[in-house]
């Protein structure tokens, strides 16, 4: 099994770097699987910045594993932003809020776990 990991500061400016990292790491995998995982990583990283303490000086940790049959991405943040609300104004809802729906369409299986260490979102695609 192959494994890669990276940690980034929780800034919106890191999202393109996350996409680039996934594309580079998965360069030898089938294009469809690589493209799907790149979009999933982008959506998960964006959610971390929008909803977690990563945006308050925290970090996001990403881990990719591949075993020949499947690729798994794990994205961990440090937990929800203090006082954050998941209720968006109508104009925000028009621009945001589709990320997890996109992930459900692209991933073969996905999930998330919450612990005292934060939230771990994961997704798998067939290699």
Structural domain spans, the chain: 2-126
* Residue range 2-126 in CATH 3.40.190.10: no
Question: For 4-61, how does the pLDDT look when each residue is reduced to its tens digit (9 = 90+)?
Answer: 999 999 888 899 999 999 999 999 999 999 999 999 999 999 988 888 888 788 899 9
Residues 63, 4 contacting (CB under 8 angstroms): yes
Q: Please tell me the pTM assigned to this model.
A: 0.84
How far, in Å, CA of 65 to CA of 48, rounded? Answer: 20
Question: For 69-108, how does the pLDDT look when each residue is reduced to its tens digit (9 = 90+)?
Answer: 999 999 999 887 665 544 444 444 444 556 778 899 999 9
Residues 120, 44 contacting (CB under 8 angstroms): no
């Amino acid at each position: 099994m192959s494994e890669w990991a990276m940690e980034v500061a929780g800034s919106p400016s890191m999202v393109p770097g996350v996409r680039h990292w996934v594309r580079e790491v998965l360069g030898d995998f089938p294009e469809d699987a690589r493209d799907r995982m790149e979009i999933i990583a982008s959506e998960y990283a964006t959610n971390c910045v929008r909803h977690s303490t990563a945006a308050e000086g925290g970090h996001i940790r990403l881990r990719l594993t591949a075993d020949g049959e499947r690729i798994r991405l794990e994205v961990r943040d440090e937990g929800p932003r203090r006082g954050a609300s998941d209720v968006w104004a109508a104009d925000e809802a028009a621009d945001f809020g589709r990320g997890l729906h996109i992930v459900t369409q692209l991933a073969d299986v996905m999930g998330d776990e919450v612990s005292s260490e934060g939230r771990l979102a994961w997704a798998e695609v067939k290699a």
